[in-house]
Amino acid sequence: MKISIAFATLSGNTEKIAYELEKFLLNKSYDVDLLNLENTKVDELKKYDLVFLGCSTYGDGDLNLIMDIFLSEAEQICHLCESTKFAIFSLGDSIYPNFAIAGEIVEDKIINMGGEVIHPYIKIDGYPSSEVFEEIKKWTLEVLKFF
């Protein structure tokens, strides 16, 4: 199984989660590529069986600009998701009413493009920490049960 961890980051927090996820999957002997969506062409995701897609929520419910641009390009192509399975991790701050809503926005867009979201997205509150990394590992094991 070919896996990608694709992420959009502005502050670096989503990237830190992506790196931890990559280390975890590599330790379990999975074939993994880490992709920064700022430097990734939309069609590149089609070659993966599973894409872990990382995003962040800005303010009270906005996608970060990199993810917004990437998904807008994907919607124009419209065939990004035809055979790819996705699992989404979303960062945010729980002080906002729309905490980590970017994950829901991304899920909806992926589904509208014909993609399959195989597990509910995970909401990550605050900054990367050892507790957050443990939460991500547990969620990842749940996602991998679908394969």
Q: What is the pLDDT along the chain (147 residues), one digit of tens a residue?
A: 999 999 999 889 999 999 999 999 999 999 999 999 999 988 888 889 999 999 998 877 888 899 999 999 888 876 556 678 999 999 998 888 999 999 999 999 998 888 899 999 999 997 888 999 999 999 999 999 998
What span, in angstroms and rounded, lies between the C-alpha atoms of 135 and 112? Answer: 28
Q: Is 134 exposed, middle or buried (0-12, 13-18, 19+ CB in 10 A)?
A: exposed
pTM of the model as a whole: 0.93
CATH assignment of 2-144?
A: 3.40.50.360
Q: Enumerate residues 6+ apart whose C-beta is below 8 A from 146.
A: 85, 118, 119
Where do the domains of the chain lie?
Answer: 2-144
Decide: 115 and 80 in contact? Cβ < 8 Å. Answer: yes
Question: Judging by DSSP bridges, how do beta strands 2-7 and 116-117 pair with one another?
Answer: unpaired
